Amino acid sequence: MREEAGWNKHLVGKWMSDVEKNDLVFWIFYEDHTMQKAVGSSGIDLNGLDKDLSDPQSLKACIAHTFVYPEHRGKGYGREIALTCINYAFQELNLKEVTVCIAALNVASLKLFLSLGFEEFKRKQMNWAPQKPYDATNWNALAVFMRKYRTE
């Protein structure tokens, strides 16, 4: 999954360190209960560097590191993964706000989070390092920051 998603080893190592420090909740999602075929992954960043996205003092965290294998896209897995993260953040972590940062070029993800009640609150030029040569235009792109508040 790491190579398919374009994540480098250093990045994944940092995430595992964040999981150990309870700064990140991370899941791998499977096709069914047999756990034979992974369809994607996602996490909740509880203490990120950007306080617009994650801030423990404000009870807000960011859905992050989301990936769905290309052969599983368009089948509802992205929605299921997003809903799992949202529900966990609000129900288990008792957060007040969930955020997400999406490359503006990723229209499918933007539409998905809008359909789940997220609202755009900021746009920012991101300087993510490309993980694969063909990703260069996608990674150094305008990002859309979105958020959703817990409703009582």
- Rounded to whole angstroms, the Cα distance separating 90 from 88 reads 6
What is the biggest distance separating any 2 CA atoms in the chain, rounded to whole angstroms?
A: 45
Question: Among 137, 140, 114, 110, which residue's Cα sits nearest to residue 127?
Answer: 140
Domain boundaries along the sequence of the chain: 2-149
Q: What is the pLDDT along the chain (152 residues), one digit of tens a residue?
A: 545 544 555 566 777 777 788 888 888 899 989 888 889 889 999 987 678 888 988 999 999 888 888 899 999 999 999 999 999 999 999 999 999 999 888 899 999 999 999 999 999 887 765 554 444 444 567 889 999 999 87
Taking the CA atoms of the chain, what radius of gyration do you get in angstroms?
A: 15
Q: Which CATH architecture has domain 2-149?
A: 3-Layer(aba) Sandwich (3.40)
User: How many CB atoms within 10 Å of residue 136?
Assistant: 12
For the beta carbon of residue 83, count every other beta carbon within 10 angstroms: 11
